Chains A and B, each alone.
Chain A
Amino acid sequence: MSEGTDLKSRVQELIDTMINPAVAGHGGYVELIDVQDNRVYLQMGGGCQGCGAADVTLKSGIERLIKEELPEVAEVLDTTDHSSGTNPYYTAGKS
């Protein structure tokens, strides 16, 4: 198994065992799209897609977790088309 493939499988395992069980609480899920040059490309779906708090979930939650577990990961990037989300858990608006 190559280093890249190994990293990808370890990221996938984190998503399966830690991240998705948590975000499922808001009807969301995360899919691993790819790992290239230590950059992790994700897509968010369900309640996460278009959610007003998706960036918080990604940057302060998912990226933090992945980097803590896998320090070789340089960055986690969101490839989600959030404008197509039809059932976001939180919809942004004026306070």
Chain B
Amino acid sequence: MGGPRLLLLLPTRTYRTEDFIDAARKLGVDLVCASEKPSTLEDLAPDTLLTLDFADPEAAAKRAAAWSAGRPLAAVVGVDDATAPAAAAIAERLGLRASAPAAVDATRDKYQMRQCLAAAGVPVPRFRRIALDEPPLRASRGVEYPCVLKPLALSASRGVIRANNADQFIAAFARIRALLQRDDVSVAGDAARYLLAEQYVPGLEVALEGLLTKGHLHTLALFDKPDPLEGPFFEETIYVTPSRMPVAVQDAIRSAAAAACLALGLTEGPVHAELRLNDDGPWVLEVAARSIGGLCSRTLRFGTGLTLEEIILRHALDWPIASLERERRAAGVMMIPVPRAGRLDGVRGVDDAKAVRHVEDVVISAHVGQTLVPLPEGWQYLGFVFARAETPADVEDALRIAHAQLRFDVA
């Protein structure tokens, strides 16, 4: 309290709350938290708790502007995909630092993003938008195989399915259509009416974590994804940084990500890009106007120990950042996948996993009694394993060994 006032947009179900609140606390800002549903304490703490409709960025901006009339805001930060458009709209209305709303909106619609990138000459898979009310058999005739079907707006591989032939296409089509009608999925507009079918691009996958400042992309970390992502679903598991790719390949990845940001019009704040690599070079699969998801940011430390969240908040506040250089040691995370559908009855082996050399922490984020839903319908991880070592290979080994110690009782 007493520092500049910073508005954090925190969905009620995000993994990112603790790390962003810790960062805000370290910076000494006057923190205001907004969620899409009212806090039980909002009436008692109206200066620090706010409800905003993240699904309607213009309404959120209007509400935030009215709220801030007597409480000026120095910065606004959305912590994930769901809040990025509202944060951009609020920033534009209040003259705060952020990318333009149109640019952020383009990242939230995979079809719009593909169109924008393709028009700028950024390598992207060939793609086609298909109406969900189109007969799937007819739609299946217009694509080349193998292909990947995906919703326009969901994150973290949810609803992403590979199809190698028309039968698989029809099954995937029906599955995505059903997914978009689930109670725990909230999509509207085109995202509720269409899906994207695109060319399957073989190759290795990487993730680039970056920070945009006045249109310049600084690469904060480049993660290898050593587990093959070949479908039928695309479950993300291990991320390890620094990348073991040749320097020239890493440079090509950075250039492709920067070109993608430029094409989309993104200029400020964190970006998370996913790319595939093969003999044709890097292909841009996704660019999101947010930082890395889950608890994965805990792998990253910069300069004298800054967290990724501190960097993001400092950037939003236009505060100096001593260094954007990641620490020298290798680091990685394993997002623990849901093995099968059911009810989580218990977790064993956590202490054994924590005892594995180079493992820093094991966080089980699912709770006993929780209903587990695997991909492609699922939207949660069981938890996260973190490791740090001298080499990326040591990190990867540690993550795999630690994961092998864990036993999840699913009934």
Contact = CB atoms under 8 A, between A and B. Distances in A.
Q: Do A and B bind each other?
A: yes
Instruction: Say whether chain B's binding surface is mostly helix, strand, loop, or mixed.
Output: loop
Contacts of A95: 11, 13-14, 80-83, 155, 293
A35 interface: no
Contacts of B21: 55-56, 59-60
A94 B293 contact: yes
B370 interface: yes
A90 B370 CA distance: 11
B13 A93 contact: yes
Given A56-B35, A56-B49, A18 B44 contact: yes
B252 interface: no
Given A52-B17, A94-B155, A94-B156, A23 B294 contact: no
Contact of A60 (B43, B48, B293, B381): B48
B13 A60 contact: no
A92 B41 contact: no
Central interface residue in A18, A50, A59, by most chain B CB within 10 Å: A59
Given A64-B48, A91-B380, A94-B380, A22 B367 contact: no
Nearest to B153: A95
B10 A83 contact: no
B31 interface: yes
A61 B367 contact: no
Given A57-B39, A60-B33, A95-B155, A52 B14 contact: yes
Contact of A87 (B32, B47, B369): B369
A65 B44 contact: yes
A90 B379 CA distance: 13
B158 interface: yes
B233 interface: no
Nearest to A83: B364
Contact of B15 (A26, A62, A84, A93): A93
Contacts of A23: 40-41
Interface residues of A, number: 33
B367 A56 contact: no
A86 interface: yes
Contacts of A19: 41
Contact of A22 (B31, B41, B293, B379): B41
A28 interface: yes
B12 interface: yes
A10 interface: no
Contacts of B294: 94
Central interface residue in B18, B47, B369, by most chain A CB within 10 Å: B18
B255 interface: no
A39 interface: no
Nearest to B54: A95
Nearest to A19: B41
Interface string B11-36: 11111011001000100000111010
Central interface residue in A19, A22, A23, A24, by most chain B CB within 10 Å: A22
Interface in B41-70: 41-45, 47-49
Interface in A14-48: 18-19, 22-26, 28
Interface in B354-385: 363-370, 379-381
B45 A60 contact: yes
B1 interface: yes
B45 A61 contact: yes
Nearest to B83: A95
Given A53-B39, A61-B39, A67-B1, A91 B13 contact: yes
Nearest to B184: A93
A91 B155 contact: no
5 closest Cβ pairs, A-B complex: A61-B41, A93-B380, A94-B156, A95-B82, A60-B48
Interface of B: 1, 10-15, 17-18, 21, 25, 31-33, 35, 39-45, 47-49, 80-83, 155-156, 158, 293-294, 363-370, 379-381
Interface of A: 18-19, 22-26, 28, 50, 52-53, 55-57, 59-62, 64-65, 67, 83-88, 90-95
Given A24-B40, A59-B25, A83-B363, 7 more contacts: A53-B35, A56-B33, A60-B21, A60-B39, A61-B41, A84-B368, A90-B12
12 contacts: A22-B44, A24-B40, A55-B18, A59-B25, A60-B39, A60-B48, A61-B44, A86-B367, A86-B369, A91-B370, A92-B365, A95-B80
